[in-house]
Amino acid sequence: MQGFGLLSALVWLPIAAGVIVLLLGDRRIVTGRWVALIGSLITLVLCLPLMTGFQGGTAEFQFVEKLRWIPGFEAYYHLGVDGISAPLVLLTAFMTVPVIIAAWSVIETRPSQYYAAFLIMEGLMIGVFSAMDALLFYFFWEAMLIPMFLIIGIWGGPRRVYATIKFFLYTFLGSVFMLVALIYMYLKAGDYSIASFQALPLTLNEQRWIFIAFLLAFAVKVPMWPVHTWLPDAHVEAPTGGSVILAAIMLKMGGYGFLRFSLPIAPDASRDLDMLMIFLSLVAVIYIGFVALVQTDMKKLIAYSSIAHMGFVTLGAFIMFDIVQNTGSLKGAAMGVDGAMVQMVSHGLISGALFLCVGVLYDRLHSREIAAYGGVINTMPKFAAFAVLFALANTGLPGTSGFVGEFLVIIASFKANFWYSVLAAVTLILGAAYTLWLVKRVIFGPVANDGVARLQDLNIREFLILGVLALAVLLLGVWPAPLLEMMQASIHHLVDQAVASKVPL
């Protein structure tokens, strides 16, 4: 039994900071804001030892902490990270800071609760990624939704109630089935450790039910077609920070769930149902790509673009079975998962940045309609430079992080089936079309109206956060090797687990 350590600090420090901000209240918000910023920054700094101390060569969990939690129940407070969760923990800590800074002088109603909600959510999300006990995982998974409901419900737009309820029902319904699956496995395994779930022999039929239960939970989160319609509504109504966290981190939990639960716990069912997953992924890439093209609301467009990009995550995760079948070799299976992981991290940065860009415009003109803008570059050249960079990254431009994941998944999917790769590659065209058309209508052109004419360019805070995100997007695009190295051993281990049968003989 190891005691509290670095991961606990990463989970509870932001939560503690959140509680302090909450207690300081709106009247002492000046202090509260600084507490929030410093809290999120310390969390980020604490990730440095996580990064430097992380051993890339092993699939073992690291920074493990294990304490008895609910004794009669064999549930443990059990934290640890491997190559799959560590990058997502980093991403969470990294993306919370810009959200806090972006809110600085923008949020005027109940600011202390706003900061507190994000800090508490940060801790809970890190908890989701680092939980090694399924019940603990479920606790963080559900608890995290509460601050998100509040963020959309309190600081959201005019249709926030509809969006919140839709979001709530979707995610809650999905999660309930996951809970049932977890309890079923607990009854068989005797404890809640994810590792023992992974080692548990299960018949194909059992695996199918478990897979479908997980699928309902994770597909809603990703979101996969056809359970995606809550996302555009939630994004449109959410305040900027809510959208950033939603797109950058919360969607990743679905992808993470597939990698941590579905594939290793139900490998035979995954193989059995991989066609379904691939089909839904390709529908997301193409169908949603077309839908994104005709959006008139900037946030909706980016939300749909997110769904299409997340299609690459699920595609990359589930092509390994066809690769083995088609080539008779495992070569390429890990590449698909590599691509899925890189795509998650990259999408976290890019979609977060794009929502921040929309936020910058929304703060000034209070409209998300594409038609309300035009020629923004004339009055906001610095902003335009960033927006164009992130837009190009969103189209998967080589040299930016957006390229790496898509490239790996397209290459790997060719090994599975020629047509997967062809259909996935359609994103090159659709992604460019919807993103650049957005850029053309919003950024370029003559000044469209008085509102645009009065726009002020980025202030120093906005410049700073977009600048840091831009550097991250470029760095990951130019030199993704360290990220891949961090994940390598764990992903190979995952592939080995997924292609081995668990059906008892």
Partner 1 sequence: MNPNVLLAIPLLPLIAAIIAGVFGRQVGRAGAHTVTIAGVAISCALSLYVLKQIYFDGAPTFDAPVYTWLVSDGINIQVGFLVDRLTALMMVVVTFVSLCVHVYTIGYMHDDPGYQRFFSYISLFTFSMLMLVMSNNFMQLFFGWEAVGVVSYLLIGFWYTRPSAIFANMKAFIVNRVGDFGFIVGIAAIVYFTNSLDYKEAFAAAPQLVSQNIVLSHTTSVAALTVICVGLFIGAMGKSAQVPLHVWLPDSMEGPTPISALIHAATMVTAGIFMVARMSPLFEHSETALTFVLVIGATTAFFMGLLGVVNNDIKRVVAYSTLSQLGYMTVALGVSAYSAAIFHLMTHAFFKALLFLAAGSVIIGMHHEQDMRKMGGLAKYMPITAITCWIGALALVGTPFLSGFYSKDVIIEAVGESHRAAATYAYWCVLLGVFVTSLYTFRMLFMTFHGPERFRHAHGHGHAEEQGTAGDPGPGGALAHAPAFATAGAHGHGSAHTSAHAAEVSHAPAHAVHSSGGHGAGAHAHEEHDRSAPHESPAVVTVPLIALAIPSLLIGGLTVSSVVFGDFFGDAIFVLERNDVLGELAHEFHGAIGFALHGFLSLPFWLALAGAATAWLFFLKKPSLANTTARTFGWLRTILVNKYFFDWINENIVAGATRLLGRSLWRGGDAAIIDGAMVNGTAAAMGRLGSLLRHVQSGYLYSYAFWMIIGLAVLLGWFLWR
Footprint of partner 1 on 433-452 (CB under 8 A): 433, 436-437, 439-440, 443-446
Q: Is 332 in the site for partner 1 (CB under 8 A)?
A: yes
Contact status: 425 vs partner 1 (CB under 8 A)? yes
Residue closer to partner 1 (CB basis): 43 or 305: 305
Using alpha carbons, select from 475, 304, 323 the residue that is nearest to residue 411: 323
Of 61, 168, 312, 383, the one binding partner 1 by CB under 8 A: 168
Q: Is 421 in the site for partner 1 (CB under 8 A)?
A: yes
**According to the binding rule CB under 8 A, does residue 375 interact with partner 1?**
yes
- The whole-angstrom distance between residue 372's C-alpha and the CA centroid of its chain comes to 29
In the chain, the amino acid numbered 200 is L
Q: Is 414 in the site for partner 1 (CB under 8 A)?
A: yes
- Indicate which single residue of 95, 250, 292, 298 sits in contact with partner 1 (rule: CB under 8 A): 292
Output the smallest distance, CB 3 to partner 1, in A: 25
Does position 43 interact with partner 1 (CB under 8 A)? The reply is: no
Residue 311: φ, ψ to 5°: -55, -35
**Coil, strand or helix at 407:** helix
Is 275 a residue that touches partner 1 (CB under 8 A)? no
Residue 280 touches partner 1, criterion: CB under 8 A: no
Strand partners, 75: 70
Is 481 a residue that touches partner 1 (CB under 8 A)? yes
Q: Which pair of structure tokens corresponds to residue 318?
A: 């589930």
Nearer to partner 1 by Cβ, of 269 and 291: the residue is 291
Does the protein bind partner 1 through residue 464 (CB under 8 A)?
Answer: no
Residue 258 or 403 having the CB closest to partner 1: 403
Cα–Cα distance measured from residue 69 to residue 62, given in angstroms and rounded to the nearest whole number: 20
- Indicate whether 229 belongs to the interface with partner 1 (CB under 8 A): yes
Binding range to partner 1, per CB under 8 A, among 65-73, 103-111, 117-125, 205-213: 65-73
Considering just the CA atoms, what is the radius of gyration of the chain in Å?
Answer: 22
Three-state DSSP at 431 gives helix
Q: Residues of 304-341 as b/e, b for ≥16 C-beta within 10 angstroms? A: bbbbbbbbbbbbbbbbbbbbbeeeeeeebbbbbbbbbb
Q: How far apart are CA 493 and CA 505, in angstroms?
A: 22
The runs of H, that is alpha helices, within 105-229 are: 111-130, 134-143, 145-155, 160-189, 194-199, 204-221
Query: Is there binding between residue 490 and partner 1 (CB under 8 A)?
Result: no
Is residue 294 a contact residue for partner 1 (CB under 8 A)?
yes
Using CB under 8 A as the binding rule, the residues of this chain from 78 to 137 that contact partner 1 are none
Considering only CA atoms, which of 359, 338, 105, 342 is closest in space to residue 246?
A: 359
Tell me the C-alpha distance between 364 and 255, whole Å: 34
Work out whether 177 is an interface residue with partner 1 (CB under 8 A). Answer: no
Q: Is residue 382 a contact point for partner 1 (CB under 8 A)?
A: no
Choice from 219, 349, 392, 494 touching partner 1 (CB under 8 A): 392
Q: Determine, following the binding rule CB under 8 A, whether residue 164 of this chain makes contact with partner 1.
A: yes
In this structure, how many other beta carbons lie within 10 angstroms of the beta carbon of residue 363? Answer: 13
C-alpha closest to that of 254 among 214, 286, 225, 283: 214
Interface residue with partner 1 among 429, 453, 464, 500 (CB under 8 A) is 429
User: Closer to partner 1 at the Cβ: 265 or 404?
Assistant: 404
Closer residue to partner 1 in complex, CB, 182/269: 182
Phi, psi (degrees; rounded to nearest 5) at 279: -60, -50
Both tokens of 212, joined, read: 């479908």
- The tokens describing 172, both together, are 């809650």
Among 224, 285, 360, 410, binds partner 1 (CB under 8 A): 410
Closest CB to partner 1 among residues 203, 449: 449
Instruction: Out of 287, 355, 362, 383, point to the residue binding partner 1 (CB under 8 A).
Output: 287
* Closer of 372 and 426 to partner 1 (Cβ): 426
Q: Is 73 in the site for partner 1 (CB under 8 A)?
A: yes
305 binds partner 1 (CB under 8 A): no
Residue 501: count of CB within 10 angstroms of its CB: 12
